[in-house]
Chain A
C-alpha cells in the first residue's frame, strides 16, 4: 500500500512535467531546425573525410550517417548539457527549503521530472528529424535496423542510456549544493562529458588506445551504446558487453547521486531570504 503510493507520487510528477513539456511547440520547431542543420553539416564533413580516405573509416559510411541522424533526433534523451535551470535556481535561490518540507525524496522527484522533460522533448522533436533523415537522397539517408530483435535491443539500450545521462545530471545538481556557482561547474562538465560521450565525434573514430578507455567510462553508456546498437553491425558479444556496462554504470551513478543528495540535504544551507 505504502510503496504503491510512493510510486504514484513520482508518476504524477512525471506526468505533470511530460504534459508541460509538450506545450513548448514553437521551441521544439526551432530546435528541430537547429538540429537538422547541425546533422546535415556534420554529415557533409564526414563525407568529405570519407572521400579523402575511405579506408580509414572505422564504421561504414551508412552507419556513421545513421549515427548522426539518430544523435540529432534523440539529442534531448542522451545529452548531459541540457540541465534544468529551475533546479539550479531552486538550489541557489533558497526555494529548496519548500522542497525539503515535502514528504518526498528530492532525488527521486528530480529524477522523475528530468526523465519527463527528456521524453517530452524527444517526442516533440524526433519525428520530423527522422522523417527527413529517411527522405534525403541515398548516401545521406538513414537506414533501419536489420531486424526486430536489434530494434528492441536499441530501445532497451536507449532507455538505459537516458537513465545513465539523467543519473549523471543528478550528480551535477548534487554538487551544486556545495558550490553555489552552477554556471562554472556546469559548463566545465558539459564540454568534457559531451566529448567523452561521443557527442563531438563518434567514439569509434578515436585512436584505438583512447577508444578502449573511453568505452569503459560511464559517458560511453549514454548515447554511444544505443546509437551503435541500432545499425546492427556490432557482434552479439559487443552488444551484450555494452548493455552490461550500461546496467553497471546506471546502478553506480544512482548510488553516488542519491547518497550525495542525502548528504547535501542534511547539510543544505538555505541561501534565499
Chain B
C-alpha cells in the first residue's frame, strides 16, 4: 500500500542543496511530531502559557506602576514581543544545538561526522521544534496589540528596523545556542549557567536593557550584544533617539555568529567520542 506521507526519494546523484536538505529534515521532524498530535498540542499550549505568565507579570506590574524608566506599558510589550519572537525563532530552528549534549553523550555525533555533509547543517536538522509556535503566537498577539497602540508614528524606516531586530536577534540567539553546544565537546553535559544567556535573556529581555542599569547596558553592548537587537533599535522605533545608525545595529549582531562558529569549529576539532 502506498504511504500517503512518504516523499519521493531524492534520486539525483548531484549533491542536493543545503537548503533543500534542511527542508527535508524539517519535514521529517514535523511529521514525526504529528504522530503524537495530542502531545504536540499540549506542548504548544504549554509553550503559550509559559510566556503568557510572563506577560501577566508585566500586565499586573503596569496596573500598579504605569511606566518604568520612561517606558510605557505598550512600549514594554513591543520590546517583549520582539525578544520573544527572536528567541522562539532561534529555538525552533536551532533546537538541535540546545539538546546537543545528548548527541555527544550517546556518541551519535560520530554518525554526523562520517556523513559527507556539513555538521552544522546536520545538527540543525536533527531537531526542529515546531511546538515553539505556541510562543510565537503569544509574541504575535502582543505585536498586534502593541504596534498600533505604542504611539509610534510608523514609517518605512521604523518597520524595517523592527524587521532587522527580528533577523539580528534570531541570529544572536542561534549563536548563543551554538556556543552552548560547543561547550558540550569539553564538558559532555550542557552547562546550566548558559541558561542565563538564553532563557534569562528571553525572560529579563522583556524590559529594555537600560532598566537594569548602565553596567548591564555596557555588558549587553560589548559582551553579548543583546542591546544591539533590543535597546538601541527600540529607542529609534519609539522615538527616543533619531540616530539613523540604530536602524542597522541589529544587523551588526549577526556578526556574533562568527565567533560562535569559530568556537564550534574549535570544539569539533577537539571532539573525542564518548559513546559506546
Contacts and interface: CB of A to CB of B under 8 A. Distances in A.
B148 to A, nearest CB: 25
A56 interface: yes
B212 A187 contact: no
B193 A52 contact: no
Interface in B90-111: none
Contacts of B42: 181, 183-185, 187-188
B38 A181 contact: yes
Nearest to A185: B42
Contact of B64 (A56, A185, A186, A194): A56
A205 B200 contact: no
Nearest to A41: B204
Interface string A33-59: 110011001101100110111001010
Given A49-B61, A53-B66, A187 B196 contact: no
Contact of A38 (B41, B63, B200, B216): B200
Interface residues of B, number: 38
Interface string B22-41: 00000000000000101101
B43 A183 contact: yes
A58 B46 CA distance: 31
A142 B126 CA distance: 45
Nearest to A211: B60
A33 B47 CA distance: 25
B67 interface: yes
Contacts, number: 107
A42 B196 CA distance: 12
Interface string B49-61: 1101110110011
Contacts of A12: none
Given A27-B192, A33-B193, A37-B200, A207 B60 contact: yes
B218 interface: no
B213 interface: yes
Contacts of B60: 201, 205-207, 210
B45 to A, nearest CB: 6
B61 A188 contact: no
Contact of A33 (B36, B53, B196, B211): B196
Main secondary structure on chain B at its contact with chain A? helix
B232 interface: no
B276 to A, nearest CB: 20
A201 B59 CA distance: 11
B118 to A, nearest CB: 30
A236 interface: no
B207 A48 contact: yes
Interface residues of A, number: 37
A33 B135 CA distance: 26
A174 to B, nearest CB: 17
Interface in B155-170: none
B65 to A, nearest CB: 5
B18 interface: no
A191 B52 contact: yes
A192 B213 CA distance: 30
A49 B65 CA distance: 7
A145 interface: no
Given A30-B193, A52-B65, A195 B45 contact: no
A53 B52 contact: no
A160 B204 CA distance: 30
Given A33-B193, A41-B212, A184-B43, A192 B207 contact: no
A187 B213 CA distance: 32
Contact of B195 (A34, A52, A210): A34
Contacts of A192: 49, 53
Nearest to B46: A187
Contacts of A194: 53
Interface string A229-241: 0000000000000
A26 B192 CA distance: 10
Contact of A45 (B41, B193, B207): B207
Contacts of B64: 56, 58, 205, 207
A200 interface: yes
B43 A34 contact: no
Contacts of A207: 60, 63-64
Interface string A4-42: 000000000000000000000011001101100110011
Given A41-B204, A184-B42, A48 B196 contact: no
15 contacts: A34-B193, A34-B195, A41-B216, A51-B69, A183-B42, A184-B43, A184-B45, A186-B46, A187-B50, A190-B50, A191-B52, A200-B56, A201-B61, A205-B61, A207-B60
Given A45-B207, A187-B49, 11 more contacts: A27-B189, A33-B192, A44-B213, A48-B211, A181-B39, A184-B39, A184-B45, A195-B53, A195-B57, A200-B56, A207-B60
